[in-house]
Amino acid sequence: MKARLTGMGTALCLALGLTLASAAPAAAKSQLTMQAVIDKAEIEDLLTTYYAHFGGGVQDKVGEYFAADGEMILGPNSYKGIEAIKGAYAAVPSDAPQRKSFALNILIGNPLIKVDGDTATARLVFTEYVVDKEGDAPRILIMGREFDWLVKQDGQWRIKKRQIMGPKGTPEGWVD
């Protein structure tokens, strides 16, 4: 009986050792500090709040999300600075589904946020759903991916550059 327990103990120690050894490279790779955890949470909150204002005047709040010299890239079009980004939102035609629908909801997911001091990147997937008339079933309007370069200014995270793309591809120079 004693030999059996010793054998089981040895096996458990060996299994634990292998588990810890396999985790060591991952731990060494990721320099996750308490500040990085806080920064990631603040960035995720920034992005979630940004999308929560869609369909309700996000263009009026652009300065709360973008750096003063921020840039938004939509397909071949680039909008640099707060006023230009506001103009991009204001230019959405009044008959566009996002404006004329009963409800617009944008779901975001799979956030991949990397923090490096006072800069960060964030990649996420978004899907826009519209409800055309009250009581209608929601329908998917569009889906795609967003790539953000962020900067911390005066203790607040802001979007330095946002590039919106379709469901495939990455911006030139993007590194996960």
Query: What pLDDT score was predicted for residue 7?
Result: 47
Residue 25 domain flag: no
Residue 150 belongs to domain spanning: 33-165
Asked, for residue 100, whether it belongs to a domain, the answer is yes
Assigned domain for 56 exists:
yes
| CATH code: domain of residue 79 | 3.10.450.50
In 3D space, the residue among 50, 120, 113, 114 whose CA is nearest the CA of residue 85 turns out to be 50
Answer whether residue 3 is part of any domain.
no
Note the pLDDT of residue 62: 85
Residue 99 lies in a domain: yes
Residue 132 resides in a domain: yes
Stretch 86-111: mean pLDDT, rounded? 87
Q: Quick check: is 13 in a domain?
A: no
pTM (2 decimals)? Answer: 0.78
């590194």: which residue's tokens? 175
Q: Is 9 helix (H, G, I), strand (E, B) or coil?
A: helix
For residues 78 and 71, is the Cβ–Cβ distance under 8 A?
A: yes
Per the structure, the count of domains in the chain is 1
Is residue 81, in this structure, part of any structural domain at all? yes
Going by pLDDT thresholds of 50, 70 and 90, the confidence category of residue 97 is confident
Question: What token pair was written down for 158?
Answer: 């802001």
Categorize the per-residue pLDDT at 73 as very low, low, confident or very high, splitting at 50, 70 and 90: very high
* Mean pLDDT for the stretch of residues 136-158: 96
Residue 66 has pLDDT above 70, yes or no: yes
pLDDT for residue 99:
81
